Amino acid sequence: MSDGRAFTDYHPACTLNQLLQDKYKLSNSHDYRYFLQKNADKIRQETVLCETQQECTICPVCKLALEGKNATANN
């Protein structure tokens, strides 16, 4: 699906933002905004790369989200 429906995510945007900030160890919103401006293509490529790999079923950010969700459920 070239229109992006395969990547629909119903999590709040703040959740994705927090996961990206944690993954790339960004401490404040200014650094995060600058990082997104300079690395948007890299983040997009990570997501697309995951889609093209046979053994990969979820993107790295989604994987972190699922690991966090499972850790919370197990506690």
Position 52 in a domain? yes
Position 3 in a domain? no
Banded model confidence at residue 10, pLDDT cuts 50, 70, 90: confident
Q: Can you tell me the distance from the alpha carbon of 61 to that of 23, in angstroms, rounded to the nearest whole number?
A: 8
The pLDDT assigned to 45 comes to: 82
Task: Dump pLDDT digits (tens) for 18-58.
Answer: 888 988 899 999 999 999 999 998 888 877 776 666 555 55
pTM value?
Answer: 0.55
Position 2 in a domain? no
Q: Bin 25: left if φ > 0, else alpha if -120 < ψ < 50, else beta.
A: left
Number of compact structural domains in the chain: 1
Position 5 in a domain? no
Find the Cα–Cα–Cα–Cα dihedral 37, 44, 9, 63, rounded to 10°.
-110
* Host domain of residue 18: 11-74
Going by the DSSP 8-state scheme, the letter that residue 4 receives in this structure is S
Going by the DSSP 8-state scheme, the letter that residue 28 receives in this structure is S
